[in-house]
A and B are shown apart, each in its own frame.
Chain A
Amino acid sequence: MSAIYILWKRELIRYFRSRARLVGSLGQPLLFLVALGFGLGPIFQKAGQGNYFQFLGPGVICMGILFTGVFAGIQVIWDRQFGFLKETLVAPISRFEIMFGKTLGGATVAFIQGCFVLVLTMVVGFRVQNFLMLPLALVAMFLIALFFTALGISIASILEDMQGFQLILNFIVQPVFFLSGALFPLTGVVSFLSVIAYFNPLAYGVDAVRGSLTGVTHFGLATDFTVLIVICLIVLALGSYLFSKVEA
């Protein structure tokens, strides 16, 4: 237990110590909010869909969590290159504890980042419909954070160095985000897009956060949370397995 705690603490110390990273990673969500929110908002409104910020806000929150989470996980590659990973691998603790501690730490960081973005969306014009549902949204945000951090660690366990970084960004992270229904409603889109969304973990995450915060859902909250919990367990198991194979 204490090993998991200290691994978790390390991630948080590092996160709060690098203010540049903290502020820098708010830049992208802000850009999306401003450019798309103000840019496409009027069109969205004209199409009779209401205020675009109400729709976009949860999507951008999830984007913040997705990117921070995956990259927190992938940092294991840096740990490997800078040698620190060896220090944890020779310690008398199980690989599962290492993987779990790192995942919890990264997920907490991604979750905090998501909270910052939530505040940012509210500054720009997003409104929470029912504050009683806010805790549920926070749970969904944490599950998303957990899933993508564990996914990042799983990927990092297979990659030898940062060479594959661009590959992950362009073939996993970006498609997962753009095809999740974070930016556009999944109802009424071309059928192949809605089929892809069925297999996109983030689609359920975005839907859960949006459903909790604004009352509008696509899959239904029960489905969203069931899927989120199940895929979290799967990726944690996968991550533990892959991480147990890592050699220094």
Chain B
Amino acid sequence: MDDIISAQNLTKNFGNFTAVNDVSFNVQKGEIFAFLGPNGAGKTTTIKMLTTLLKPSSGIIKLNGIDVTTHPEKARKTFGIVFQDPSLDDELTAMENMEFHAVLYKVPHREIKERIEKFLNLVELWDKKNDLVKTFSGGMKRRLEIARGLLHKPEILFLDEPTQGLDPQTRNKIWEYLKNLNKDTQITVFFTTHYMEEAEQIAQRIAIMDHGKIIETGTATKLMEQTQTKSLEKAFLKLTGTAIRDEEASGVDKLRIRARRWNR
């Protein structure tokens, strides 16, 4: 119906390793959706598939009705993304990074200046527009990436651990921008995080993923009721166990490299 993100039977194998195993979910237009899970659960791999960066081994993804595998370029226009690791050009200024993005996404020429000003103001970086990004702090970089991700007015914003390593003030600000934006423009927000209180306070719906599968989906209240716990953190631990996951230097990437070497 109004599903803006729809994933059906999504699977991704790297050699013998199954990172994402037959996952299906839907996100509605205008929803704020949190994707939780321990390290190595398959969250980033799922986001990469949703955003056309990885081809699924099997399954269908539709963004706003567009099949991501068959029409990647068209699908890319519908979303903005903030990656887990920074993806800015440090040697360019904030302004140049924004202009680069605007041109790649074919923002109409006469609107470029106005939009850059609007979104840099939104994340309170307009004063720093001519500074090289390498002089920015982690929080400033993250805010700039959010502004950049919004520049082409996407319908969906993907955020992979957008607040990781940031102080509470910056985290609070970032969620404030995003909540306001969601209210004003009905933009759909899909994010992953390790901060349970963020998911609890901000997301309308939460999916918990572990070992490549989605184990529960629902509102924070529902997840707590179901597990008979008093906080989302407790519910999360009850669902995913308390054992520490060693994600050895991005183990999935290593496996992928190995798989590529031998199978290509």
Using CB atoms and an 8 Å cutoff, list the residues of chain A in contact with chain B: 2-3, 5-6, 10, 13-14, 17-18, 82-94, 160, 247-248
| Cβ contacts under 8 Å, B55 to chain A | 247
Comparing B85-93, B116-124, B177-185, the segment that makes contact with chain A is: B85-93
Are A247 and B53 in contact, with the CB atoms below 8 A? yes
Query: Once the chains are docked, how many angstroms separate the CA of A22 from the CA of B127?
Result: 30
Instruction: Tell me, yes or no, whether B215 is within 8 Å of chain A by CB.
Output: no
Comparing B1-9, B20-28, B98-106, B191-199, the segment that makes contact with chain A is: B98-106
B85, B91, B104, B256: the one contacting A17 at CB < 8 Å is B91
Using CB atoms and an 8 Å cutoff, list the residues of chain B in contact with chain A: 48, 51-55, 73-74, 76-77, 81, 83, 85-92, 96, 99-101, 103-106, 256-257
Grouping DSSP codes into helix (H, G, I), strand (E, B) and loop, the A interface class, with mixed when no group exceeds half, is helix
17 contacts between A and B (CB under 8 A): A10-B89, A10-B92, A13-B92, A13-B96, A14-B89, A82-B87, A83-B86, A83-B87, A84-B87, A87-B100, A92-B73, A92-B76, A92-B105, A93-B73, A160-B257, A247-B55, A248-B54
| Cβ contacts under 8 Å, A5 to chain B | 103
Are B87 and A86 in contact, with the CB atoms below 8 A? yes
| Cβ contacts under 8 Å, B87 to chain A | 82-87
The smallest C-beta distance from A57 to any residue of chain B, in angstroms, reads 32
Q: Which residue of the partner chain A has the closest CB to B132?
A: A17
The smallest C-beta distance from B58 to any residue of chain A, in angstroms, reads 17
| Cβ contacts under 8 Å, B74 to chain A | 92
Query: Once the chains are docked, how many angstroms separate the CA of A178 from the CA of B200?
Result: 64
Query: Once the chains are docked, how many angstroms separate the CA of A160 from the CA of B253?
Result: 10
Query: Once the chains are docked, how many angstroms separate the CA of A91 from the CA of B88?
Result: 14
| Cβ contacts under 8 Å, A89 to chain B | 53
Which of A6, A87, A88, A160 has the largest number of chain B CB atoms within 10 A? A87
Are B54 and A247 in contact, with the CB atoms below 8 A? yes
Q: Which residue of the partner chain B has the closest CB to A89?
A: B53
The smallest C-beta distance from A91 to any residue of chain B, in angstroms, reads 4
The smallest C-beta distance from A85 to any residue of chain B, in angstroms, reads 8
Q: Which residue of the partner chain B has the closest CB to A247?
A: B54
Are B103 and A84 in contact, with the CB atoms below 8 A? no
